[in-house]
Each structure stands twice: as structure tokens, then as C-alpha cells.
Chain A
Amino acid sequence: MTEIRVENLTITIGKQKIVDKFNLTFKPGEIWGILGANGVGKTTLLHTLTGLRAPDNGKVLLNEINLKNVNAKKRAQKIGLLAQDTEFSFPSTVFETAMIGRYPYAKKWFGELREDIELINQALATMCLTDFIHRSVGTLSGGEKRRLALATLLTQDPDIYLLDEPTNHLDLSQKIRTLSLLQQLARERHKTIIMVLHDIHLLRAFCERVIVMDFDGRCDYGDVARMLSAEHLSQIFPVETLQFLS
């Protein structure tokens, strides 16, 4: 089981402080939501937690080891990122795309291990993509591409799932299916789920704890009921948005 902890984490872009002296421990099996206005730095925070970006100050610790000292492949075995957008510039099949999730474990130059192939098939089945296995990625719809990106992350099988708007392009039933699956991963396999979500209803239904980010670099966090109370939400959203929500 893997624990990720941030200690005095400070992230700046230019002169803007995205995160200022943030301290928090994400324990195995927890489901966290990240909420904040557009451009507040949610993606940057996720990238820092993944190790794609070095913090400007403070540390990200993976099982008490500074993330910058962890070998990149070992890190990818523990932390997986679902990026906000996925590039599909080159033609490839659904199976080939899902296969890249096994890269951090790759031992052989040629051929894939039988366990890897089983895992890929399983992940594609979980995301209802078995029928598309030999289809070219270019022919998939936006929602199918998103499910494929999620299947690739399942193939990677990390301990910590960092998901940047995982429900983008998904229809309502696929949204519920995907979030239920993540909930199941946290409960049954003690995976840590940290995801950026914009939908308050989905946050309430699927997350246990929420981080609310603001433009001053503050990251307020706590129990979902408290963080998504009218009082807290009024600090993020304008009155007309809250009227619509209620």
C-alpha cells in the first residue's frame, strides 16, 4: 500500500502562487475530489503530485521518500495520471493504446507477457471496449476515447490514481459507471483516488473528502459535507451559480 504526502508544498507559475505551503496526507483507500474555478491550478497540482513538475518549495513524499528521488518507472508503477486530454496523433488500435499502460513494468524488448495481455483485456472489458479492440483509435467518439484513456490507466494499475476530469465526454450512465468503478477500487483494493471534478453532485456522491483551491494559493480541505456546504461554496462561486445549484 502506498501513501502520498505533501509537505509545505508551494507551486508558482510566473508570479501567481497556485499552492502555498500545503500540507496533507493522502491515505490508501481514500477518495479525494479537487474543486476550483477554471485556471486556479488544479491540473498543475495533479502534475506536481505525479512528479511531472518539481515543486517550487516543499516536498511530495511517496511512502516517505521524496518523489524527485524515486526512479521514474518505479514512480509510474505507484502513481498513475489520467491527463485532461489525450493525444492521438498517430494511428493505432484500441488494444495497442491500452498496452502502453504496461510500459513501467516492461522487461522484454519484444513481445508482451501473458499476464500483461490478460490485464489489458480485462481493463478494456471493464470500460466496455472489448468490441472495439481492433478498431483504430481515430474512429472512436470522444466518450469512447475517454474510456480508452481510463482503460490504459487501469492497465497501468497504480496504487494512486490521479484523474484530471475523468468524466469529460462521458454520458451520464458512463459517468456513474466510471466513478462507481473508482469507488470500488478504493474500497476493495485500497487504491487512493484523487480527482478533479466540476460537478458538485458527483463530488457529493462519490468523494469522501474535497480540496477546494482558490486564486490566492489556498487549498482548503476536509470532509465532503463541510467543504460543499453553502457557506464554503459561496467562497468559490458567484451567487447566481449557487441559486442554480440549490
Chain B
Amino acid sequence: MERIPILRMGNFLLVTIQVDMHDKLAMTLQDDLTKAIADFDSRGVLIDISTLEIVDSFIGRMLANIAAMSRVLDAETVLVGMQPAVAITLVELGMSLPGVRTALNVESGMELLQESVGSFHMSMNDGSAET
């Protein structure tokens, strides 16, 4: 079954959504991500939607859910690269994704994650074995 690949980058997970997802694929991604956060003890999730041309209420809710679930698992989520036309349409639809942090691109998104998460781990790193 097709799945959207999840990349692990140290403490963070990176997901790039490029395809026009059908509902099942979106739900699978949601499940896969929450599982991965738990499995790898990730502290942050970066979702790159810079090539996603359509975000309807279903996808919007999925993104909000991922952010909420991650937070429960002690991970931050940052959504990056939303296209202007998509942003305009989402707002018109009535979705503003209040619980989701955003950034312009992967680079700024990573910076954001480092800021909110990195410092915590720097203070935890006292030279003992990596958890």
C-alpha cells in the first residue's frame, strides 16, 4: 500500500507531502507519524507542503490533528511552505489552523524547531549516554 515517506533527521521527523492525497492516504500518514514520534522519541515534526496545491477541510483537519497529537507526545509540529493560493482558500473556507506553527520553508522551519526544542535538549545533554 502506498505511504508517504517519513524521514528521520536526528531528533526530528520530516514529511514532504507532494501528492494529491486521497482520504485513506492522509489517515495513514496521521497514524504513521504518531507511531514514528513514539518509536523514535522525536521532539519535532516538520511537514513540508510547499508543493501541495490543494488543502481542503479534510487535509486541514488532518494537519491540525497531527499537531495536536504530537504535542501530547511532547513533540512540536511546524508546517512549512504553504502556497499563497492555498492559504487564501483555507482562510476563505474558515480554517485558520490555530494550533499549528508555521514557517516559510524547511530551513526556517528547522530553525523554529531548534529554538523551541533544541535548547531543552542541550541542557539535558550532560555527556551521559544518548537515550
B is a partner of A: no
Q: Which residues of B contact A (CB under 8 A)?
A: none
Q: Which residues of A contact B (CB under 8 A)?
A: none
